[in-house]
A = this chain, B = another copy of it.
Amino acid sequence: MPSIPTLADVCMVPLGTGSPSVSDFVTKIEKKIRESPLKSTLHSAGTTIEGPWDDVMKLIGELHEYSHELGYVRVHTDIRVGTRTDKVQTAEDKVNAVLSKLDQ
C-alpha cells in the first residue's frame, strides 16, 4: 500500500436515516477518528486527517464499516486529498501560511 504523507479532508453523511440531523452520526465518527493515532482537526464541513496514505484510507474505510455496524445502511463521503513531494506540510502549516500572509 502507498505510504506517502497525505492530508485528507473528509465529509461523511448517512443516507436513509429518517431524520435530517446528522450530529449523532458525526459525533460517533469523530470519536472513532480521535481514538486513532492519526492527527485530525474537526471543522463545520468535515474533519481533516493527516498521515500516510494507507493509514488514512484504512481509517476512512473502517469508519464506513463502523457506520454500517451501527446500523447506518448507506454512507456517502466526500474526500479532498492532497500529496506533494516538494515539502512536508501539516494542516496547521497550511492555515498558518495563509494567516501570516494575511497579516502582512
Contacts and interface: CB of A to CB of B under 8 A. Distances in A.
A43 B53 contact: no
A41 interface: yes
Interface in A49-91: 53-54, 57-58, 60-62, 64-65, 68, 73-86, 91
For this chain, the copies found in one complex come to 4
How extensive is the interface on chain A, given as a class?
Answer: 35 or more
A93 B82 CA distance: 26
Which DSSP category, helix, strand, loop or mixed, fits chain A's interface? mixed
B94 A44 contact: yes
Interface of A: 1-2, 4, 6-7, 9, 11, 13-24, 26-27, 30-31, 34, 41-46, 48, 53-54, 57-58, 60-62, 64-65, 68, 73-86, 91-92, 94-95, 97-99, 101-102
